[in-house]
A = this chain, B = another copy of it.
C-alpha cells in the first residue's frame, strides 16, 4: 500500500540508507511511547505490555533492541536529557547585556521546564532511584556540561562589567535557577493540594515566573554582601 512508499521516503531521510526497514524509526517509536509510560507510572509502575501495545511494533522488538526493562528505561532517560539540552542550546545570551541576558536565561528556563513535564518527571523518578541509572551513563554528564558553561560565561561577563557580585559561583547560580524552575513543576500537585491551585493558574504562573526572575536577579546583582568586612567594590 502507500505505507510502503512512505517508509521508503522516511527511511531515506532518516539516514537508513534507503531501506524499507527502518530500525531507527522503530527504536524512536518505542522510546517515545516508553517515555510517556515511564514518566506517567515510574520505573516499576510502568508495564512492558502496556508500552508494547501503544507502539506500532511488538513487545518482542523492545527486548530485541533494549535488552530488558532497565535498559529501555536508561535509554529513555538519556534521550530525555539530550532532547532538553538541545532545545536549550538555541539561546543567544551573548547578544544581550549581562543583566538582560540573565533575566532571559531565568525566564526561559522557568518556561521551558514548565513545558517539559515528562522530562521533569523522568528526573523525579531517577532521583527516587538515587540516580542509579544516570550514574551508569557517563555521557549524560557531557551532554549537560554546556548548560553550566553558558552560565559561567554569562556570569564572568557580568562580573567584569561590575553588575554581578564577584562571589557568585556558576554552579550555585545554575543550582538556583534549576531549583526554582524544577520545583514549580515537580511539586505542583502536593503544594497545590495543600495551599490551593492559585499559583498554577495561567496568571499565577506568569506572576510566579516573573517573581523567580526577580529572585535570581536580586541574588546575583545589587549591593555587596553587608556581612563582609568591606562593602565597597
Q: Chain A residues in contact with chain B, CB under 8 A? A: 41-45, 121, 123-128, 130-131, 134-135, 140-141, 144, 148, 171-172, 174-176, 178-180, 182-184, 186-195, 198-199, 208, 211, 214-215, 218-219, 222-226, 229-233
Contact A126 B222 (CB under 8 A): no
Q: Which of B123, B134, B184, B189 contacts A179 (CB 8 A)?
A: B184
Contact A219 B219 (CB under 8 A): yes
Contact B214 A219 (CB under 8 A): yes
CA of A227 to CA of B167, assembled, Å:
20
Q: Which of B121, B135, B231, B233 contacts A226 (CB 8 A)?
A: B231
Contact B223 A190 (CB under 8 A): no
Contact B126 A189 (CB under 8 A): yes
Chain B neighbourhood of A218, CB < 8 A:
218-219, 222-223
19 inter-chain pairs at a CB distance below 8 angstroms, sorted by A residue, are A42-B45, A42-B128, A124-B124, A127-B190, A128-B128, A130-B189, A141-B193, A141-B194, A148-B195, A172-B199, A174-B195, A175-B191, A178-B191, A179-B179, A179-B184, A186-B186, A218-B218, A218-B223, A223-B232
Q: Which residue of chain B is the closest to A171 with respect to CB atoms? A: B195
Assess A193 versus B44: contact at CB under 8 Å? Given A172-B208, A226-B231.
no
Chain B neighbourhood of A135, CB < 8 A:
193
Give 3 closest A-B pairs by Cβ, nearest first. A131-B189, A179-B183, A231-B231
Main secondary structure on A side of the interface with B: helix
Q: Which residue of chain B is the closest to A136 with respect to CB atoms? A: B193
Contact B194 A171 (CB under 8 A): no
Contact B215 A176 (CB under 8 A): yes
Q: Which of B128, B141, B178, B199 contacts A171 (CB 8 A)?
A: B199
Assess A193 versus B229: contact at CB under 8 Å? Given A125-B128, A180-B179, A211-B172.
no
